[in-house]
Amino acid sequence: MTLFRNPVLPGCHPDPSICRVGDDFYLVTSTFEWFPGMPVFHSRDLVHWRHAGHALDRPEQLPLDGVPASGGLYAPTLRHHAPPNQAGRFYLVCTLVDGTDWSGHFVMTASDPAGPWSDAHRLDGEGIDPSLFFDDDGRAWCTGTRLTGRYEGHTEIWLREFDPSALALTGEEHVLWDGALKGSIWSEGSHLYKVGGRYYLLTAEGGTALEHAVMVARADAVTGPYAGNPRNPVLTHRNLGTGHPIVGTGHADLVETPDGEWWMVLLGMRPHHGDRCVLGRETFLTPVAWEDGWPVTGGRVEPSHPVPALPPRPWPAAPMCDQFDGPELAPAWNMLRTPRERWWSLDERPGHLRLRVRPESLADVANPSFVGRRQQHPDFAAFTSLDFVPANEEWAGLALVQNNDFHVLLVSTSQGLLLVKREQGLETVLAKAQAHPGPVRLGFEAHGRWYQASYALEAGGSVEPGGWTPLGDPVDGDLLSSQVAGGFTGAYIGLYATANGRAGTNHADFAWFEYVPL
């Protein structure tokens, strides 16, 4: 029996939404303040996924300028619709939260999920978590979540008709649902399906921490009334405690395979101790059966499970070391908020990523000179080679980032190498080492909650005799968890340069970056 391991998308990939077109599956996740936004993944077996593109990959599509940490892009839904005798089209709806120019729901379209996607077209409606449903009678509908004010955290799910030609909501509003359990909070993440002639409303409930759960209701008409499954929640880990390897399961979406199997993608977390998790909310996969007209999941998500009844279709593995020898950054790299200028280069010094040293820092709600990738494993090592001649107040090196108030830096400065912790907005120098001319190698090695910084001097492109030297004691990575730092994202690790508020013309060159699971 062949097993797959959960999560199928490790690292910060929350709020997964999935759709199938023929034999192909496509999936998108939330990205909050990170750019490019809303990665689109492609699979043919539900287990192996490749990065196909981003829905938001051009600054003019939608502004992320000034959005706070864990603001930005919330809970996209991806759907495909092919009217009779017409080419199919992909639709993506999402909410921009805490935008400085505007906030609210929007829709984007594409003929190819890999892109290009259209600019964001704003939609009416309150709240968060919009979702589209294309009925078999030719009509389309949009659901969303909004607070009611009846008590703290109480929400309701609303429904309006969607006009795919005008990209607009139309007609009267219907309130479908306000939670399955008495006193429920944050009934959200709704999706509609039609199975066996009935309409099914799948929702999340309980908030995205340990109380998270998946609920389902059904109706004979799309506008309701909806009756809850007497077995709700159909999936939760709230009863398993923090000792379980997977916690916080919820915010699910369903998909049917060509052979009639049903599967659920959903978010969950893998804590490193207690409820602390630096990896963020990841994408998991679990099977679904139908009994007595209701979806049945078995009640929990397993770390491993027999694979779907689909031919295995693995993709070529991505290299662990990025040599920065391509024309553009690899799709794994992200930036904070919308880049309004080109402060990075792959061609000014071929075979290097050059970052311009700018006033913006990771402590600012801005777009600093930082390119990062998701931490995807509890135990990992990451290394780079830095060539940088710093002036006063200029820093460059490696950064572990949760948000602007919580991060860890291993940087080359005019005072030497510094290991710096920023926690609750306060910076502390944890360790320092003497400055040396020439390139230096920097690294972090993580084992659960502990992150050890180290460095090595280079000579002729190789590490000098004596090898790597630890810098300071291991840093407690709890400060990178959302349980400590707040918000909805996981930790990122990447390459960074800043003048800490000063103007300048300097740059930092990185010859390569390597990320290795341990």
Annotated catalytic residues are 15, 188
Cis peptide before 68 (omega within 30 of 0): no
Q: Whole-angstrom Cα distance, residue 367 to residue 426?
A: 20
> What is the widest separation between alpha-carbon atoms in the chain?
74
DSSP 70-127: T-EEEEEEEEEE--TTS--EEEEEEEEES-SS--EEEEEEESSTTSPPPPPEE---SS
Helix (H, G, I), strand (E, B) or coil at 39: strand
Beta-strand pair 379-387/3-5: unpaired
Report the residue count for the chain: 518
Rounded Cα gap, residues 253 and 178, in angstroms: 19
Contact 388, 509 (CB under 8 A): yes
In 3D space, the residue among 88, 84, 97 whose CA is nearest the CA of residue 130 turns out to be 97
Q: H-helix or E-strand containing 484?
A: helix 482-485
Peptide bond into 63 cis (omega under 30): no
Which two tokens mark 48?
């192996």
Q: Are 402 and 379 in contact (CB under 8 A)?
A: no
- Tokens 């969303």 correspond to 144
Question: Of 348, 340, 342, which Cα lies nearest the Cα of 324?
Answer: 348
> How many angstroms separate the CA atoms of 54 and 35, rounded?
9
How does strand 198-205 pair with strand 168-177?
unpaired
